[in-house]
Amino acid sequence: MPETHLFDDYGPVVGFDEMYDGSQVRSEYAAVHASFQAMGDDEIRLRAESLASSYLDQGVTFGVGGEERPFPLDLVPRIIEAADWRHVDTGVRQRVKALEAFLADVYGPGEVFADGVVPRETVLTSPHYHRVVSGIEPPNGVRIHISGIDLIRDGNGDFRVLEDNCRVPSGVSYVMTNRPALSAALPEVFADHRIRPVQQYSRNLLAALRAAAPSGVSDPTVVVLTPGVYNSAYFEHTLLARTMGVELVEGRDLVCRQGRVMMRTTRGLEPVDVIYRRLDDEFLDPMQFYPESVLGVPGLVNAARAGNVTIANAVGNGVADDKLIYTYVPDLVRYYLGEEPILRNVDTWRLGDADQRTEVLDRLDELVLKPVDGSGGKGIVIGPAASREELDALRLKIDQDPRAWIAQPVISLSTVPTLVEKGIRPRHVDLRPFAVNDGDDVYVLPGGLTRVALPEGELIVNSSRGGGSKDTWVLADPLEPADPKDTADAEPEPEVPGAQKRAPGRPDGDTQSIPVITAELPEPGEGPGQTQTQTQTQGGGA
Amino acid sequence: MLSRIAESLFWIGRYLERADDTARILDVQLQVLVEDPAIDEATSCAQLLGVMGVDDYTGVVNRWTILDLLAHNPDSNNSIAAAIDAAREGARGARETLSTDLWTAINMMWRGLPAARSRRPPDLFAWVRNQTAMVHGIAEGTMTRDEGWNYFVLGRSIERVDMTARLLSTASLAGSAQLAWPTTLRACGAYEAFIRAYRGIEGDRQAAEFLLLDRWFPRSIVSSLAEAEKALSRLEARGQRSGFADEAQRLLGRARTELEYRPLAEIVEALPTEMERLQRTCAAASEAVSARYFSSAELHAWRGGTFL
């Protein structure tokens, strides 16, 4: 019987560890822990190696500055219990619905301003607010077709929202490739669990995109719009197009004619009805935004305004995932849905508010300061790690433009055992569940992308900092029938009665404020910042 | 199918074939240089560069320069390395339309190139031939026979006509013909087929005839032309009662019938000139294909803030 010593000297645990409760293994990890114990050190290392080489041959990569790099997948899965997932699932759905209502309001009647929930200037001064799309009513009312809500677990193991992504959230392709790669590496461990599948994501996404087609189109043509092969998330764009069976187009493949969007094919121009764009707003339509951009399609926004094409996600969504609006989301949930927020925010101070500013300026050396429109971790100052000069410079910047900053406590992310050189050790993780809104309901893909920071104590899980990912297993509730949207078949089975709705999540009763540590979690491959640099580099050539 | 994707597939077909055939041509040339005592290395290498379309090289020409320019140097447009790079780049841009197996094969070929380049030249050439054969085999076995497949086959066939024409020119220019023709046949993998077909009669004329006109041998010029014509007629969805409306199809069909109906002696006599003409036909056909299928409605383009 081989022995496993890789778990010896596990630690140090700072914050919440998802496998160990003290020295006890939590029940959801019991079977995985036992399998690893029985496997032996050599076997574990061997399987990790074969996992890595299978990823390299398949070309599962992300791009950094035009260079392709492998995206490491850890051998130890992350496991989320059915009850915990129900909580996340209902919380994410609630949040997406509130954000949808908010966007409809901002680009429509603007009642949220009249009722004094959010100050009008907070939205109008956001760089992501685009007046050009106000008054455009999307065909099925959906603006956030795809979203990624970044979650962390605090010191008590409670899920908290760190950031909303309502523009072009990326990373779902790794969720889809991690699963088959890990099941090939750990077949016996998979057999011990009932894990909810993830491969149905493409089918649900395609259904939602088709549902968003302009009215009167019975068999819509859906395309995925990519900035091109040099984009950091190009791998994902090809995977989504391939698994949905739709064309992957670049801006130069599309052309607008009489308010319609057409694609250039070998048989001439053919109409396009729904565009799942993986391109930032600013590059989408050079007639409306950067005139120098050659990645977009001139006339696209006007075609959308005429109701002839649906852009998913909608233009102007950036006001909903602005870091300043983030602080208002709990109020938006109460205002639009009349419910208490299920998932709580991380405590945040707005520096635009004079009282809060005074408090933050007093404690600058113990907080994390983030610019509201900075993305991909740009411009963040971590108080405890900053020098006196840096803090003074920061003070000056805050005085000049307080609206541009928010402050958060330092949050200690939860840890999950991860195979590193020294053995299996706690490493910090976050979670990005992906939600698809088809207009009738919001579907949350069970699991989502878990990013893990591989260096010891590192809180930034970004892949360009040596971050990796983990396959995320959501365990199926044995007492519940399978979610019909989980099945990978083309036709959901009609004879499953009462399987539509899951039970509502437990209310979040914990109201006490917990001191937590912070880390900024930039995007895995496609930080908005990176996309931008990438697109500019590419656009600059022509 | 998207014009851009169709164009990528066409060029993936061309580049793969170019890598394959360049390896074959170099293999012949280097063997002849080694084995033929009477040959003048500089002249014969300069001729080869001319045939392969490298006309801006002014330095000293010997076997190492042709190896660099036609095999190793990725900055030289005519090299094997450049062709493999271009094929992989094209495949990357059309990744969602290729089968996973096909993409993996092209990607692995590209990844294996640096290692293969450090081997001896004959081994490198054999590696290129094997890799392209594998890619074609996988394409054959896994690609659906849709439009995309036709563009892929079309590109491959046009390139094969072009490159076989160059190979024949090389052979006829390569000093002692006694040595060149059997080597050329071997390079095409045609030696045994030729020996069987002609019952052991080895002559330059027969060898040229075989590589030009044999309808059963898949690398001959006539078979490749016919293959390209077939791909074009599959792309032309509506059947035609008379004649051919497609420019590329007309060009290729005329070239094929000229080869088949003219007296062989006439062609063999001025082989390099004839082969050059054939290459020009290929270029014209390629342009006709791209004008018809790859540039739909590119009348308006957006450049720097305005429509042109």
SS3 for A282?
Answer: helix
Burial classification of residue A389, based on how many CB atoms lie within 10 Å of its CB (0-12 exposed, 13-18 middle, 19 or more buried): exposed
The amino acid occupying position A405 is W
Among A229, A265, A268, the residue with its CB nearest the CB of B93 is A229
| Interface-testing mutation among B103, B235, B302, B308, with chain A (most A C-beta atoms within 10 A) | B302
Contacts 24+ apart (CB under 8 A), B36-43: B36/B174, B36/B175, B36/B176, B36/B179, B38/B175, B38/B176, B39/B174, B39/B175, B39/B176, B40/B175
Whether the pLDDT of residue B301 is over 70: the answer is: no
Phi, psi of A272 (to 5 degrees): -120, 135
**Best residue of A176, A258, A266, A297 to probe chain B, by most B CBs closer than 10 Å:** A266
Q: Compute the half-sphere exposure of residue B177: CA atoms within 13 Å on the CB side of its CA.
A: 12
Strands A415-420 and A367-371: unpaired
Mutation target to probe the B interface, by most B beta carbons within 10 A, among A265, A278, A284 is A265
Compare A265 and B295 and report the one with higher pLDDT.
A265
Whether B106 shows a pLDDT value over 70: the answer reads yes
3-state DSSP: chain B helix, strand, coil percent, rounded to 5? 70, 0, 25
- The answer to whether the CB atoms of B303 and A269 lie below 8 A apart is no
A471, HSE (Cβ side, Cα atoms, 13 Å): 26
CA distance A71 to A17: 24
- Which chain A positions have a beta carbon within 8 Å of B98's beta carbon? none
- Residue B209 exposure: Cα atoms within 13 Å on the Cβ side: 16
Nearest to A164 by CA among A321, A23, A48, A42: A321
Reported as a pLDDT band with limits 50, 70 and 90, residue B123 is very high
Bigger pLDDT: A510 or B185?
B185
Chain A CB contacts of B108 under 8 Å are: 57
Residue of chain A nearest B236, judged by CA positions: A267
Residue of A nearest to B2 (CA): A265
Identify the residue whose tokens are 């042109």: B308
Rg (CA), chain A: 23
Query: Is B92 in Cβ contact with A266 (below 8 Å)?
Result: no
Which helix or strand (DSSP H or E) is residue B161 part of?
Answer: helix B147-173
- Binned at pLDDT 50, 70 and 90, residue B41 comes out as confident
Regarding beta strands A344-345 and A159-165, do their DSSP bridges make them parallel or antiparallel, or are they unpaired? Answer: parallel
Q: Specify the 3-state DSSP secondary structure of A261.
A: strand
**B303–A294 C-beta distance less than 8 A:** yes
Buried b / exposed e over A441-467, threshold 16 CB at 10 Å, is ebbbbbbbbbbbbbeeebbbbbbbeeb
* B241/B253 Cα distance (integer angstroms): 16
Separation of alpha carbons A432 and A414, rounded Å: 14
Query: Would you call A266 and B3 a contact, using CB atoms and an 8 Å cutoff?
Result: yes
The closest alpha carbon to A123, from A138, A140, A108, belongs to A108
The answer to whether the complex's ipTM is over 0.90 is no
Q: Nearest 5°: phi and psi at B120?
A: -70, 150
- pLDDT higher than threshold 90 for residue B150: yes
Contact B40, B175 (CB under 8 A): yes
Choose the weakest-confidence range: B12-21, B208-217, B229-238: B229-238
> Between helices A329-337 and A82-106, what is the axis angle to 10°?
80
Report the pLDDT value the prediction gives residue B99, as an integer from 0 to 100: 86
DSSP code at position A314:
P
Distance CA A320, CA A322 (A): 6
> Do residues A381 and A126 touch, judged by C-beta distance below 8 A?
no
Residue count (chain A): 542
Chain A residues within 8 angstroms (CB to CB) of chain B:
57-59, 228-229, 234, 237-239, 241-242, 247-250, 252-253, 255, 262-269, 286, 291-292, 294, 298, 542
**Alpha helix locations (H) across A156-200?**
172-185, 187-191
Residues in B closer than 8 angstroms to A70, CB to CB, are: none
| Chain A nearest CA to B125, separation (Å) | 24
Which residue in this structure is represented by tokens 């006490």?
A512
Which residue, chain included where needed, has tokens 């006001």?
A319
pLDDT confidence of residue B303: 54
CB-based contact A242 B147, cutoff 8 Å: no
Cβ of B107 within 8 Å of Cβ of A59? The answer is yes
Nearest 5 degrees, angle CA A320-CA A322-CA A326? 80
Inter-chain contact B92–A542, Cβ cutoff 8 Å? no
pLDDT band at B173 (very low <50, low <70, confident <90, very high): confident
Determine whether the interchain pair A263/B104 forms a contact, defined as Cβ–Cβ distance below 8 Å: no
Provide the residue count of chain B.
Answer: 308
Q: Which of B2, B89, B304 sits opposite A253 (nearest CB)?
A: B2
What's the confidence (pLDDT) of residue A399? Answer: 86
Handedness of CA B144, B148, B154, B155 (dihedral sign): negative
Q: pLDDT per residue over A431-485, tens digit each?
A: 999 999 999 999 999 989 999 988 887 776 665 566 789 999 999 887 777 777 7
The pLDDT of residue A64 is 62
Pairing of β A146-153 and β A159-165: antiparallel
Residues of B in contact with A236 (CB under 8 A): none
Give the whole-number percent of chain B exceeding pLDDT 90.
39
Instruction: Write down the pLDDT at residue A466.
Output: 63
Out of B294, B296, B302, name the one closest to residue A298 (CB): B302
What integer pLDDT is reported at residue B297 of this predicted model?
Answer: 46
A542 chain-B contacts, CB cut-off 8 A: 303
Cβ of B303 within 8 Å of Cβ of A247? The answer is no
Q: How far is A57 from chain B (nearest CA, A)?
A: 7
Residue B147: which of A247, A266, A291 has the nearest Cβ? Answer: A266
Residue listed under structure tokens 């005519």: B78
DSSP assignment, residue B216? S
**Chain B contacts of A265, Cβ < 8 Å?**
1-3, 6, 296
Min distance B17 CA to chain A CA atoms (Å):
23
| Interface contacts (A, B; CB < 8 Å) | 73
User: Is A255 close to B300, i.e. CB distance below 8 A?
Assistant: yes
Of A423, A526, A417, residue with least CA distance to A470: A417
Smallest CA–CA distance from B294 into chain A, residue: A266
**Whole-number Å distance between alpha carbons of A429 and A439:** 31
Does the distance separating the beta carbons of A268 and B298 come in below 8 Å? no
Q: Which residues of chain A have pLDDT under 70?
A: 1, 57, 59, 61-68, 374-378, 460-466, 487-542
- Residue B191 touches chain A, beta carbons under 8 Å: no
Looking at residue A364, its pLDDT comes to 85
B3 vs A265: CB contact, 8 Å cut-off? yes
DSSP 3-state assignment of B239?
coil
